[in-house]
């Protein structure tokens, strides 16, 4: 039985009717606990360390109605007992909520608990429906101590498909607690967006960079508008809040151009979460000239060539470099990355993101 689901069995026994008060005893059994509800308000341990007895005083009219209802239920089932399952998202009944890892934790998506197993969850779209809601781990992980307890937590993206053409992207976090991993509420990024990079900002601020469509554009149009979402997790509510940026001094992506500055290569992230960074950031630069040529520096040779743009499309061509040999140089990797570029976007952090063909990854320059 999943750790986040408890099975409850209720056995009902009326314990006598008095002039003023009556009692109703309910034996409440879980896989871990045995609980009883009787008269008087008190609590005591029964049989197992995590079991309790709850006593509640009820008047005759109330208990009479309750007994009739419960007898009808028992008769309908023919067993005098019934069973039901509920998702548990807290420890109020003594069931451990910590998961073995982020890909097996419980996340709240649109107010529904979703339990991943090896990064995947599949549930019915509606009771008895053949349509399924499939939730999957996407990636773009960032590891950071999000709640200040000294343990490394993680934030990443999930996708959810509901049987149609849409693919909804969410950002979630999983906290590494003493008793296991605990998932957060999910924050929606959008439908059929193009995720780029996810990284940590100042303090515990999570920055999610992605590309979406312009307002009114059809889903048949490739996303082209860069967006950065700044989020801060509240460890008490396990919800993200959006951090409103002080836009004084921040970059405006709509006003940024390729030729506005010399760009420094910061990192490259592939869609399998592999990340490559320059060993020396200042060595790798690109300068776009107004005549359609570019000049680049590396940790070894200088590189030059042509570039063409159309909207947010970008391609490099006719690349040439000087011929000096440098042992351990990252030059060949850098040049190969440029040859794979298909499009570009700017972020409000003042970054230039160069996207590879087939959505296989992206380069970030600043």
pTM of the model: 0.48
112 plus 49 within the same structural domain: no
236 plus 166 within the same structural domain: yes
221 plus 319 within the same structural domain: no
Cα distance between residue 274 and residue 362, in whole Å: 11
pLDDT per residue, tens digit, the chain (366 aa), is: 344 333 333 333 333 333 333 333 333 333 333 333 333 333 333 333 333 333 434 455 555 666 666 666 656 554 433 333 333 444 332 233 689 999 999 999 999 999 999 999 998 888 888 889 999 999 999 999 999 999 999 999 999 998 888 899 999 999 999 999 999 999 999 998 999 889 898 889 999 988 888 888 888 888 878 888 889 999 999 999 988 665 444 567 777 889 888 899 999 999 888 899 998 878 899 999 989 999 999 999 989 999 999 989 999 999 998 888 888 899 999 999 999 999 999 888 889 999 999 888 999 998
81 plus 111 within the same structural domain: no
Q: Cβ–Cβ contacts within 10 Å for residue 350, how many?
A: 15
236 plus 115 within the same structural domain: yes
| Nearest in space to 3 (alpha carbons), one of 34, 36, 30 | 30
- Domain annotation covers residue 23: yes
Domain range for 149: 102-242
Domain count across the chain: 3
Cα distance between residue 125 and residue 182, in whole Å: 24
Boundary (domain end) residue, out of 87, 111, 132: 87
Q: What is the CA radius of gyration of the chain?
A: 29
Task: State the CATH number of the domain containing residue 327.
Answer: 2.40.128.270
237 plus 276 within the same structural domain: no
**CA dihedral sign of residues 135, 138, 139, 144:** negative
Specify whether the CB–CB gap between 285 and 299 falls below 8 A: no
174 plus 284 within the same structural domain: no
194 plus 264 within the same structural domain: no
- Domain annotation covers residue 94: no
């Amino acid at each position: 039985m999943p750790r986040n689901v408890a099975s409850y069995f209720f056995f009902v026994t009326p314990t006598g009717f008095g002039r003023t008060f009556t009692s109703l005893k309910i034996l409440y059994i879980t896989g871990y606990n045995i609980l009883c509800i009787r008269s008087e308000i008190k609590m005591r341990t029964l049989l197992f360390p995590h079991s309790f007895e709850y006593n509640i005083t009820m008047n005759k009219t109330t208990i009479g109605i309750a007994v009739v209802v419960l007898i009808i239920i028992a008769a309908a089932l023919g067993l005098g007992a019934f069973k039901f399952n509920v998702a548990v998202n807290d420890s109020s009944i003594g069931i451990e909520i910590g998961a073995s890892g982020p890909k097996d934790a419980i996340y709240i998506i649109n107010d529904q608990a979703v339990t991943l197993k090896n990064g995947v969850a599949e549930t019915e779209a509606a009771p008895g429906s053949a349509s399924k809601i499939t939730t999957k781990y996407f990636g773009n992980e960032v590891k950071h101590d999000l709640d200040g307890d000294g343990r490394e937590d993680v934030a990443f993206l999930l996708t959810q498909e509901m049987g149609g053409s849409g693919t909804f992207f969410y950002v979630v976090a999983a906290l590494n607690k003493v008793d296991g991993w605990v998932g957060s509420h999910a924050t929606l990024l959008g439908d059929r967006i193009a995720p780029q990079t996810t990284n940590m900002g100042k303090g515990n601020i999570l920055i999610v960079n992605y590309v979406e469509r312009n307002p009114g554009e059809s889903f048949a149009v490739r996303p082209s508008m860069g967006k950065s979402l700044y989020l801060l997790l509240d460890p008490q509510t396990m919800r993200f809040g959006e951090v409103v940026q002080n836009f004084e001094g921040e970059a405006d992506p709509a006003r940024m151009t390729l030729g506005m500055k010399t760009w420094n290569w910061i990192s490259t992230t592939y869609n399998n979460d592999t990340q490559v960074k320059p060993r020396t950031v200042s060595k790798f630069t690109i300068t776009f000239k107004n005549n359609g040529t570019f000049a680049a520096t590396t940790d070894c040779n200088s590189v030059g060539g042509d570039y063409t743009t159309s909207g947010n499309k970008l391609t490099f061509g006719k690349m040439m470099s000087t011929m000096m040999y440098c042992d351990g140089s990252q030059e060949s990797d850098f040049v190969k990355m440029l040859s794979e570029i298909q499009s570009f976007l700017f972020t409000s952090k003042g970054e230039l993101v160069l996207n590879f063909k087939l959505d296989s990854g992206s380069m970030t320059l600043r």
